[in-house]
Amino acid sequence: MSNNNISRHISGQFNIELEAIRTHVLAMGGLVERQLTDALHAIHYQDLDLAKQVIKEDHKVNSMEVSIDEACTRIIAKRQPTAGDLRLVMAIIKTITDLERIGDVADSIARTTLENFTNQQQPFLVSLEALGRKAARMLHDVLDAFARMDVEAAMKVYRSDDDLDREYEAIVRQLMTYMMEDPRSIPNVMKVMWAARAIERVGDRCQNICEYIIYFVKGKDVRHTNREEMEKLLK
């Protein structure tokens, strides 16, 4: 076998392995997305069975993180990727950390669901709905952008976090008003407050994933740069 053939062979095998990892990441993303939407559905409709199921499934997200991480370390040690291939592996290692944390958010919302809210407290929970829908949308869209490594789509998700932040600020104000009007409601409203905060953080995690997509495609680390610089990069 000529050297050339060997290198083609290695590269072919490498691509198969890398593709397997990427598929695994997309499966993990799909699971996390389902966990999040289920948790949001559970808290909104007070569906305790669904909440319990989300809590039960969380370990699957965790073990996917660990096994993808292992696969990434293995491919680096065995195949010694460079340039774009290495950037993809690095982007994957970081992406799964954020996905796992979004999984934790789903788990924590599910646990809040089990806290036995009374009928009077339903309005607090309802206020989470629009926020949750926006966060779930961001997650869906960033996973889509990741699957296609589409920088434009990633940038669109990135920008949409402003919208989520505004919604979050509005909810915080509303919940503070509830608490001031009826101090006895404070312990329960606080639970909803934590849930709102957790959902808002999903947006930040999605923004992180956008940055990894840009890092992979453009070869530039855009974390901690401002929005204008990011936009310029895409022109």
Chain contacts with a copy of itself (rule: CB under 8 A): 59, 62-63, 65-66, 69-70, 73, 76-77, 80-83, 86-87, 90, 93-94, 97, 172, 176, 179-180, 183-184, 186-187, 190, 193-194, 197, 221, 223-224
Choose among 161, 159, 169: nearest CA to 197: 169
Minimum distance of a copy of itself from residue 214's CB (angstroms)? 13
Residues in the chain: 235
Name every residue whose Cβ is closer than 8 Å to that of residue 125 and which is 6 or more positions away in sequence: 43, 44, 46, 117, 192
Nearer to a copy of itself, 221 or 229 (CB): 221
Nearer to a copy of itself, 30 or 187 (CB): 187
Nearer to a copy of itself, 118 or 226 (CB): 226
Minimum distance of a copy of itself from residue 45's CB (angstroms)? 27
| HSE toward the beta carbon, residue 232, CA cutoff 13 A | 7
Minimum distance of a copy of itself from residue 47's CB (angstroms)? 26
User: 3-class DSSP state for residue 30?
Assistant: helix
Nearer to a copy of itself, 94 or 133 (CB): 94
Determine the Cα–Cα distance for residues 175 and 198; give it in Å rounded to an integer.
15
Minimum distance of a copy of itself from residue 32's CB (angstroms)? 14
Minimum distance of a copy of itself from residue 62's CB (angstroms)? 4
Minimum distance of a copy of itself from residue 41's CB (angstroms)? 25
User: 3-class DSSP state for residue 40?
Assistant: helix
Nearer to a copy of itself, 136 or 217 (CB): 217
Query: Distances from the Cα of 219 to the Cαs of 64, 183, 188, 211, 212, in angstroms?
Result: 26, 52, 46, 11, 10
Determine the Cα–Cα distance for residues 191 and 18; give it in Å rounded to an integer.
42
Nearer to a copy of itself, 48 or 176 (CB): 176
